[in-house]
């Protein structure tokens, strides 16, 4: 169905007014999808795209992140990954912003023999799930990524992983949404949302996309990343274990390189720590010695929205009175990857049509305490 027909269908059948609370990559993607489908949309956020979205490395790497017991999450990630090329092309065309989507895959690398055992263990799971994995010996690794240390033990190539620049994606989404973004905090109330200036914006549907805050079953998991610039950037995304320390290195097209990420659960102010930076830089320099001469750009710490089973919360929140908001939260380490499928799920829920099957295991009611606490 072309866009005009689709919009006409929505107009005839079910044009809804939707207020999205939270303007990170999730809230903005949902709003954009709804707008494209012909709905009326407003996004409320006092500081859009400055939460976890601002720190994210932009790996679209369900294979590189997969772990035992998280097979449903892997399937959701693979579904969303498949949506990314069309999603990015469409957004670029409408916004005029290049989002730097790159499709060079992930190199999973083990620095020593124990590290390589860990890498191979996660590959066994991937192969069971039908993900293509290409084992590489040391020579094959260096041919693919000549900047890797001569000390690496080995690794594999996951050809289907991609990466994107989340800050550019946010710029593009903000451009297409324009003045539909209201720079204020909001809370859901009967019939819409209450803004911090006291106004109520009426809405048929409220979507909660507030990242690491605002839902009782979501907890903040601090992550730190470092940005550097170098003429010797790797051509692939490299994820590695370096003597037990996990690290990844994600190159952008303009020579910027993101080195990440720490993972810590502690309350308090989100600021990068000396210990976190030292561990990441030490591991990254051992892995790719050329990074030694890279120029430092910045270090950023933000809170990932974690859930008890690491999966997102996608669905209508029952049992909260007549409001029944739609939740699009708890995306933890994968909110950038999962943005397109989340937007598709939220649109289906707004239109009261069946969401994609892969989202079924992620209903928010699987946790008792998924109540809003804005
Ligand atoms: C260091 C790091 C690296 C990461 N790397 C990757 C990666 O490579 N790939 C990947 O897929 N994911 C990655 N992630 C995870 C990803 O960043 C998150 O899953 C994603 O950003 C979640 O998006 P979000 O929109 O839900 O939350 P956020 O981006 O945190 O946005 C939430 C927004 O809600 C707003 N808000 C909160 N309460 C209110 C309120 N009451 N009213 C109005 N607005 C409100 C906030 O201001 C904020 O802008 C990374 C995260 C971190 C921290």
Domain ranges of the chain: 3-57+166-217+308-366, 106-159+219-306
CATH class of 3-57+166-217+308-366: alpha beta
What pLDDT is stored for residue 127 in this prediction? 82
Nearest CA to ligand 1 atom 52: 56
Nearest atom, ligand 1, residue 26 CA: 25
What pLDDT is stored for residue 353 in this prediction? 94
User: Mean pLDDT of all residues in the chain?
Assistant: 92
pTM: 0.94
What pLDDT is stored for residue 257 in this prediction? 98
What pLDDT is stored for residue 1 in this prediction? 46
Range with the poorest average pLDDT among 54-68, 110-124, 360-374 = 360-374
User: Which CATH architecture best describes the domain 106-159+219-306?
Assistant: 2-Layer Sandwich (3.30)
Among 314, 333, 342, say which to mutate for ligand 1: greatest number of ligand atoms within 8 Å of CB.
333
326 CB-side CA count, 13 A: 28
What pLDDT is stored for residue 369 in this prediction? 65
Burial class (CB in 10 A: 0-12, 13-18, 19+), 149: middle
pLDDT above 60: residue 2: no
Which long-range contacts does 191-200 make (Cβ < 8 Å, 24+ apart)? Answer: 192/19, 193/19, 193/21, 193/44, 195/44, 196/46
pLDDT above 90: residue 5: no
How far does the centroid of ligand 1 lie from the alpha carbon of residue 304, in Å? 6
Mean pLDDT across 333-346: 98
Among 21, 24, 50, say which to mutate for ligand 1: greatest number of ligand atoms within 8 Å of CB.
24
């Amino acid at each position: 169905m072309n866009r005009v027909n689709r919009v006409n269908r929505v107009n005839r059948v079910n044009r809804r007014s939707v207020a999205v609370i939270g303007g990170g990559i999730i809230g903005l993607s949902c709003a954009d999808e709804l707008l494209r489908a012909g709905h009326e949309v407003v996004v409320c956020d006092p500081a859009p795209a400055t939460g976890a979205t601002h720190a994210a490395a932009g790996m679209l790497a369900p294979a590189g992140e997969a772990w035992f017991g998280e097979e449903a999450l892997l399937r959701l990630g693979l579904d969303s990954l498949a949506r990314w090329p069309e999603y990015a092309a469409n957004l670029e065309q409408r916004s005029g912003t290049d989002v730097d989507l790159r499709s060079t895959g992930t190199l999973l690398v083990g620095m020593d023999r124990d590290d390589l055992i860990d890498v191979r263990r996660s590959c066994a799971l991937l192969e069971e799930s039908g993900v293509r994995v290409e084992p590489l010996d040391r020579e094959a690794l260096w041919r693919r990524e000549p900047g890797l240390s001569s000390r690496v033990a080995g690794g594999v190539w996951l050809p289907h992983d991609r990466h994107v620049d989340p800050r550019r994606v946010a710029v593009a989404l903000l451009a297409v949404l324009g003045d539909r973004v209201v720079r204020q905090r909001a809370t859901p109330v009967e019939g819409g949302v209450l803004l911090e200036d006291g106004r109520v914006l009426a809405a048929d549907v409220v979507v909660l996309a507030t990242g690491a805050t605002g839902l009782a079953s979501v907890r903040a998991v601090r992550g730190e990343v470092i940005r550097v610039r170098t003429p010797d950037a790797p051509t692939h995304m490299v994820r590695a274990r370096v003597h037990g320390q996990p690290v990844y290195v994600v190159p952008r097209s303009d020579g910027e390189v993101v080195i990440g990420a720490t993972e810590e659960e502690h309350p308090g102010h989100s600021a990068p720590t000396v210990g976190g930076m030292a561990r990441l830089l030490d591991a990254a320099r051992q892995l790719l010695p050329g990074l030694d001469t890279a120029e430092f750009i910045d270090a950023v710490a933000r809170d990932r929205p974690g859930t008890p089973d690491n999966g997102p919360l996608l669905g209508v929140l029952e049992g909260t009175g007549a409001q029944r908001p739609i939740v699009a939260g708890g995306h933890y380490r994968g909110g950038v990857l999962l943005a397109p499928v989340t937007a598709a799920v939220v649109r289906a829920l707004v239109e009261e049509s069946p969401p994609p099957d892969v989202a079924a295991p992620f209903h928010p009611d699987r946790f008792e305490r998924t109540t809003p606490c804005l």
